[in-house]
Amino acid sequence: MDPDVVKMVHGAGGVEMQKFIKNYILKYLSGSGAEVPLEFLDDSSVYNGVVLKSDTYTVKPIFFPGSDIGRLAVAGSVNDMLMIGAEPKALAMGLVIEEGFPFNDLERILESVSKTASEAGVYVITGDTKVVEKGALDKIIINMSGIGFRHRYLDHNIGVVAKYRGGVDFRWLLDRNIRPGDKIILTGYIGDHAIALLSVREGVGFKIDIESDASPLNEIVDKALEVGGVVAMKDPTRGGLANLLNEWSDKSGYGIKIYEDKIPIRDEVRAACGYLGLDPLELGNEGKAVIAVVREKAEEVLDAIRGTELGRHAEIIGEVTDEYKFVVMETVIGGRRIVPQPIGDPVPRIC
């Protein structure tokens, strides 16, 4: 790889992106002393009790089965705030539009932003629009930043964790929080979003009856925290489940064991991955969360999640272990295989 220029893989949510962030971004921008600073590389940051999140959406195409860039932007940023234990409250939208972009398409996107924000209980309260000349951008990109505040059930939730742990050393749901014995819940099918996007991508398109399920996860998070015992949450976007579990393992210093037969995946998605040569564990997802829960409360949290519309296919897919320090999958045919952190997401521009 040419070492002197930025490549697609540096934004693709895997090993190379992590190196890029450590070697470049953190080299210049660490040391804030914020409550949850940049260096933690969690899904959101926290300053003085305020959760702050920024994400730019460059998805291609901008309209795809089941969703669009507007819904994706709201749901994606809202979910990253939820994952750390916040209730998202206000969004800031930065639009960059290529000259010649149809107003009809813009209205569809804005309507979708509005509708999704309403589902998530947030408002866009500020923003900015830039227009660049034709050829300087591929249609439209959206930055969705936002703020949130401590979730109303977060203290209760951490209290439940503390009860089983004999105390805790965290105030937010960080990647580093997982400990041996914690159970890992996945809230729904993996791969839908990436496969839906691929099915309509120029030069790849194929016929499949799969829709992207980008959605705000407020209800799932509310129910899980209401039960209590959640130690960490993260959405398996770029780099998929494989990347997420490796990040948790790296940051906590513990291993993770998952069971292949427990991972919710649709037959059509499994089949599509087969003929496209893609590993479903590495595909980016939207509208899904991975939730680590103290063992004693795992079944109860699972039941609460299954009671929600978006969480009805939730499963306990594995657990944290101190037997090793990496991610291992017990396969259906009876063996064990290491699940490595992907180099990058095999499907670019999924969010």
Touching a copy of itself, residues 193-252 (CB under 8 A) = none
What Rg, from alpha-carbon coordinates, does the chain have?
Answer: 19
Measured CA to CA, the distance from residue 52 to residue 38 in angstroms comes to 11
Q: Which amino acid is at 285?
A: N
Least spacing, CB of residue 61 vs a copy of itself, in Å: 12
DSSP bridge pairs for 129: 95
Does 4 participate in binding a copy of itself (rule CB under 8 A)? yes
Please select the residue that binds a copy of itself; options are 62, 72, 82, 141, rule is CB under 8 A.
141
Please select the residue that binds a copy of itself; options are 19, 22, 31, 159, rule is CB under 8 A.
31
- Cβ atoms of 144 and 72 within 8 Å: the answer is no
Please select the residue that binds a copy of itself; options are 14, 18, 58, 195, rule is CB under 8 A.
58
Least spacing, CB of residue 19 vs a copy of itself, in Å: 12
Structure tokens that stand for 147 in this block: 């703020």
Nearer CB in complex with a copy of itself: 78/227: 78
Please select the residue that binds a copy of itself; options are 19, 136, 271, 331, rule is CB under 8 A.
136
Least spacing, CB of residue 27 vs a copy of itself, in Å: 7
Does 338 participate in binding a copy of itself (rule CB under 8 A)? no
Does 52 participate in binding a copy of itself (rule CB under 8 A)? yes
Span near a copy of itself by CB under 8 A; candidates 55-63, 165-173, 245-253, 324-332: 55-63
Taking CB under 8 A as the criterion, which residues in 94-133 touch a copy of itself?
Answer: 94-104, 106-107, 110-111, 113-114, 117, 123-133
Does 22 participate in binding a copy of itself (rule CB under 8 A)? no
> Coil, strand or helix: which one is 173?
coil
Q: Which amino acid is at 144?
A: M
Nearer CB in complex with a copy of itself: 94/181: 94
Q: Which amino acid is at 181?
A: G
Least spacing, CB of residue 316 vs a copy of itself, in Å: 30
Ramachandran category for residue 71: left, alpha or beta (phi over 0 → left; psi -120 to 50 → alpha): alpha
Residue for token digits 């944290």? 320
Measured CA to CA, the distance from residue 166 to residue 180 in angstroms comes to 15
Tell me which residue of 303, 294, 288 sits closest to 231, measured CA to CA: 294
Does 89 participate in binding a copy of itself (rule CB under 8 A)? yes
Does 180 participate in binding a copy of itself (rule CB under 8 A)? no
Does 270 participate in binding a copy of itself (rule CB under 8 A)? no
Does 82 participate in binding a copy of itself (rule CB under 8 A)? no
Please select the residue that binds a copy of itself; options are 15, 20, 119, 279, rule is CB under 8 A.
20
Q: DSSP secondary-structure letter at 249? A: H
Kindly report the three-state secondary structure assignment for every residue of 8-43.
Answer: HHHHCCCHHHHHHHHHHHHHHHCCCCCCECHHHCCC
**Residue 5, exposed/middle/buried by CB under 10 A (0-12, 13-18, 19+)?**
exposed
Nearer CB in complex with a copy of itself: 10/295: 10
